[in-house]
Chain A
Amino acid sequence: MGFVSDALASIGLNEFVITLMFVNAILAMSIYLTLYGGMFSLANAGFMAIGSYVSVILTQNHDWPFLPAILVGMVAAGLIAIPIGLPVLRLRDIYLAIATIGFVEITRIMILNFDKIIAEVYTRLHMESEPPKITNGPLGITGIPVETKLEYLIVTVIILSYFMIRMHRSRFGRALAAIRQDENVAASQGINVVYYKNAAFILGAMMAGLGGGFSGHLSRIIQPGSYGFGTAVDILAYSVLGGISSWYGPILGGLALTALPEVLRPLKEYTGLINGVVLLIFIAYLPGGLGDPALWRSVRKTAGRIVNFINKGKTANAGA
């Protein structure tokens, strides 16, 4: 094991980076669920922020243990998804994307001004005591001890993967796939479209909230600025790079896209450039993403040919 981690560290993938890779894999899985149901929702950065802040406030201000805190963060994200999903999921395609970006920005600004809002409530209610500082505005919450461990993340990814695999062959997954392909026909086949869309949205929000809880306890500091439009696009990029034609696509995308800038770090000022070029190449030549089953079939085929070729070479040599 030590050997493997040394080898990974030598290409820029130290333990912190690997942990971050798995956090982002969870975030990528969270958007996969809504995309699987045909919903182009970018709201998950907002749910990540909620999961992150709720869990960090619980561990830092209320001395909660880590695991219950991130579970509460996850549930909080799910609860907030209920009133958001009902009106917003009536929209489709690009309109849904814009509305959900709006939600991400509202969440960010709410967190930014949360203490001011509380202070205002205190003055309005003529409360004597000093209003508490909860989210600490733009400075965010600092000095958070690192509690997220790689083992937790791997276990979480395995559990979520299990759900995803099961989901595909289930009544729930079939309903989502039907809704993605033709919402009206799905309704005519007896599928309650509103229920399934919201269920997927809420489950996705919970996964994002869980990912947020892990990331909050990894980065030592959380600030509202970390959960804006850029994060929403990052999460989308993971699933685009990984592809959504398979459940493991987003995981691969989240892992690869987090690792890439670290691996490219020796290129110094060219890191961003190469990173962008790699993304472009993927979108242009591998629209199915890293997780495209067709890609893996052709990889297996090519590998098989190479093995055959080598074996032939060996027998030829043996013959000679």
Chain B
Amino acid sequence: MLVLKHVYRQFGGLMALQNIAMHIPAGQIVGLIGPNGAGKTTLINCMTGLDHPTAGEIEFGGTPIQKKPAHRITALGMARTYQNIRLFGEMTVLENLVVAQHGLGKANLIDSLIQTPRHRRENERLRENGLQLLKRFHLEQNAAVLAGNLPYGDQRRLEMARALATNPKLILLDEPTAGMNPVETAELGEQILRMKAEGKTLMVVEHDMSLIAQVCDEIYVLNFGQIIAHGTHQEIKNNPVVVEAYLGQEEGE
């Protein structure tokens, strides 16, 4: 589904990403782990068009996307969440999901200014979709609450609902469990597996190894901007390079 070949990202003298090669197969859940500052978020930004690689190719469903702007990539079927929650805090929970379906709407400027019946029907449809998603993430009682006023765990869930609202094929989750307790993390794992069962492809960037072990089919390990290992959870766990770079530090604590 998503293929990266020789991807580099350079910030001045700093090589944030070096010769990245990755393959996210359709219908799978791929994990991406690595210590802080390894380049995980830079990599996600390059995939989603918020940033662009200095060199290399990224193909999404056969289409080269390394130079495309973010909204085009979203239209092709990619969605993401953010490590530090970035909801539209001044909008209600439901509005967040309606605006997320922007690409599924067709209303133009004239429709918007005089509110044609077509636009009204479209609004109804998007709100209905949004409510369905809220039910799925157990947020329906908060539909009219400003997103910025939600408790932390609910904000995380809303971010995931918002990613799903764009009707994506591939969802990139950037540290979805940050700040969650073990119960919430396990519940989140269930949600992720449910998306997979519905035919979505996912990539999960995480620190929490329990979630990675629970959901991921395969794992890439990133350190200092390079992929240093790739394999199943078992393979990664026993890989001495990975243990030294990442897991070893945790065990040493």
Is A185's CB under 8 angstroms from B82's CB? yes
B99 within 8 A of A: yes
Interface locus among A91-99, A110-118, A174-182, A227-235: A174-182
A72 within 8 A of B: no
Tally the A-B contacts, defined by beta carbons under 8 Å: 97
Number of interface residues of B (CB under 8 A): 36
Is A188's CB under 8 angstroms from B111's CB? no
Is B69's CB under 8 angstroms from A171's CB? no
Instruction: Determine chain A's interface SS by DSSP, over half rule.
Output: helix
Q: How far is the CB of A314 from chain B (nearest CB, A)?
A: 39
B137 within 8 A of A: no
- Chain A window 81-125, contacts with chain B (Cβ cutoff 8 Å), 1 for yes, 0 for no: 000000000000000000000000000000000000000000000
B134 within 8 A of A: no
List 11 extra interface pairs beyond A166-B113, A189-B166, A191-B99, CB under 8 A.
A166-B114, A170-B112, A174-B91, A177-B91, A181-B91, A187-B74, A188-B49, A188-B74, A190-B71, A190-B75, A192-B69
Give the docked Cα–Cα distance between A233 and B168 (Å): 45
Give the docked Cα–Cα distance between A53 and B111 (Å): 31
| B residues adjacent to A (C-beta < 8 A) | 48-50, 69-71, 74-75, 79-80, 82, 86, 88-91, 95, 98-100, 102-103, 105, 107, 109, 111-115, 119, 122-123, 162, 165-166
A199 within 8 A of B: yes
Is A172's CB under 8 angstroms from B109's CB? yes
A interface, size bucket: 20 to 34
Is A169's CB under 8 angstroms from B123's CB? yes
Of residues B86, B90, B102, B112, which shows the largest number of chain A Cβ atoms within 10 Å of its Cβ?
Answer: B112
A184 within 8 A of B: yes
| A residues adjacent to B (C-beta < 8 A) | 163, 166-167, 169-175, 177-178, 181-182, 184-194, 199
Query: Of B80, B90, B109, B112, which contacts A188 at CB under 8 A?
Result: B80
B165: chain A residues at CB < 8 Å are 189
Is B86's CB under 8 angstroms from A185's CB? yes
Give the docked Cα–Cα distance between A166 and B111 (Å): 9
Give the docked Cα–Cα distance between A257 and B148 (Å): 33
Give the docked Cα–Cα distance between A163 and B109 (Å): 11
Is A170's CB under 8 angstroms from B162's CB? no
Q: How far is the CB of B218 from chain A (nearest CB, A)?
A: 25
A-B contact list, 20 entries, CB within 8 Å: A166-B113, A170-B115, A170-B119, A172-B109, A174-B95, A174-B98, A174-B102, A178-B91, A178-B102, A185-B88, A187-B69, A187-B70, A188-B80, A189-B165, A190-B71, A190-B103, A190-B166, A191-B102, A191-B103, A192-B69
